[in-house]
Amino acid sequence: MAPRPMAAPRPTFGAPLPGNARAASRTGGTPYRAPQAPNYAARYPGAMAAVRGAFPGGEGEHRQYVKLASHTQPPPAPAPATAPPAWPPSSLFKGQRQLEVGEAERGLHEAEREGATTRTRLGNQYATSLSENDRERAQELADYNRQSAEQNDAYQKGLGLLAESFQKLGTRQSEAANKAGVLQGGALLSSAAVRGANEAKERTKRAEANTKAIQALERGHVRAGETLDRARARLIEEEAPPDEANPVGGIKYQDLATHLANLQANTAWFGQEQQSLAGQEASEAGWPGYPPAAQPPAPARYPGAAGAVSRAFPGGTAQQRAWIKAHSRVRGR
């Protein structure tokens, strides 16, 4: 019997390639991965946030914006709108009206300049008055301290003189008793007791007088301080310049501001009235009036889109189209 032939080798069709994961796991190697192109998000960082912020309607609005940007050119900058003159042509109304308005405005400017001068003078006068108030307060305090010290000195000096006078009286009484030969008698002791009582009584009297004098000085000092305080408060109320605590200032500043505000309002009203009468006279003479001022251009259809899109897509419209195409392909998966 003939021997059996050896089995033919299996075909290698479909064998694992070098980068196959299972082949790598059998051999213990690392799977091979081909380099991948960056996705649309990495290619255009910040584009999604910019598009969503500029186009609330989503991708459809962005497509429409790109389409419009591709076929249109940016419009030229509009000329600034100018208001028509306030007065009609001077030949169509009484010229005296414009002269009177000019005279009123000139008077207003003079009053405003005088008001500025008055403010400066009020400020200087206020500073001087405050300094004078402070000087008077310091002088009154110095006078009070001086008078109090003088009163105390006079009181102490009076007590010393009182003691000296009673001492001299005792000496005279002792000398008289010695001459009379009663130096050791009870009369001398009695006179000494009477002298002591009289001296104590006189001391009490003088102490009470000194206390009343000090109290009178204190009352005068308090009244003078209150008078100065009232004068300072009245000064602040009337002449204080405007500041953070009181933006309108004192009464004089308020009166000045009210006067100027009334003058400005009356001048403006007078000018408008004269312009209205001049326009009426010109209209009666056949003047059709000035054409209306040009209106500012309407806002863009997508406000803020140009700045946001230009930052996200430096390459312009072509780059936006590529982003939309890549974004749509990813969303369609």
Interval 73-128: pLDDT, tens: 555 555 555 666 778 888 888 889 989 999 999 999 999 999 999 999 999 999 99
- What pLDDT shows up at residue 200? 84
Q: What is the pLDDT of residues 138-168, one digit of tens each?
A: 999 999 999 999 999 999 998 888 888 878 7
Distance, CA of 142 to CA of 54 (rounded, Å): 77
Query: In the structure, what pLDDT confidence band is assigned to residue 66 with cuts at 50, 70 and 90?
Result: low
Distance, CA of 162 to CA of 8 (rounded, Å): 156
Both tokens assigned to 237 = 């109320």
Whether 229 shows a pLDDT value over 50: the answer reads yes
Average pLDDT over residues 16-26: 47
Distance, CA of 213 to CA of 209 (rounded, Å): 6
* 49 or 302, higher pLDDT: 49
Helix (H, G, I), strand (E, B) or coil at 260: helix
- What pLDDT shows up at residue 195? 77
Residue matched to tokens 């299996």: 10
Query: In the structure, what pLDDT confidence band is assigned to residue 68 with cuts at 50, 70 and 90?
Result: low
- What pLDDT shows up at residue 17? 45
- What pLDDT shows up at residue 166? 76
- DSSP H helical ranges for the chain: 21-27, 40-43, 47-54, 59-71, 95-180, 186-239, 251-284, 305-312, 317-332
CB-CB contact of 316 with 62 (8 Å): no
Whether 60 shows a pLDDT value over 80: the answer reads no
Whether 190 shows a pLDDT value over 80: the answer reads no
- What pLDDT shows up at residue 235? 94
- Please report, as a single letter, which amino acid is at residue 166: F
Distance, CA of 288 to CA of 279 (rounded, Å): 10
Query: In the structure, what pLDDT confidence band is assigned to residue 38 with cuts at 50, 70 and 90?
Result: low
Percentage, residues of the chain above pLDDT 90 = 36
Whether 24 shows a pLDDT value over 50: the answer reads no
- What pLDDT shows up at residue 282? 87
Q: In whole numbers, what is the pLDDT of the chain averaged over residues? A: 77
- What pLDDT shows up at residue 295? 54
Whether 1 shows a pLDDT value over 80: the answer reads no
Q: What is the pLDDT of residues 245-274, one digit of tens each?
A: 889 999 999 999 999 999 999 999 999 999
- What pLDDT shows up at residue 187? 64
- What pLDDT shows up at residue 333? 45
